[in-house]
Amino acid sequence: MPELQCLRADHAPALLDFERENRAYFAESVPDRGDAYFAEFDDRHAGLLAEQSAGTCRFHLLVADDGAVLGRVNLIDVEDGTAELGYRIAKSAAGRGLATAAVREVCELAATDYGLTSLWARTTLDNAGSRAVLARAGFTVTGEADLGGRPGLTFVRELG
**DSSP code string of 77-112:** EEETTEEEEEEEE-GGGTTSSHHHHHHHHHHHHHHH
Cα–Cα dist 76/52, whole Å: 9
Number of domains in the chain: 1
Say whether pLDDT at 160 is over 80: no
pLDDT at 30: 80
| Average pLDDT of the chain to the nearest whole number | 96
CA neighbours within 13 Å on the CB side: how many for 14?
A: 19
Q: In which domain, by residue range, is 142 found?
A: 3-158
Query: Residue 41 is which amino acid?
Result: F
Residues 30-53, mean pLDDT to the nearest whole number: 95
CATH number assigned to the domain comprising residue 114: 3.40.630.30
> pLDDT of 68-120, one tens digit each?
999 999 999 999 999 999 999 999 999 999 999 999 999 999 999 999 999 99
pTM: 0.94
Q: Considering the chain, what percentage of its residues have pLDDT values greater than 90?
A: 91
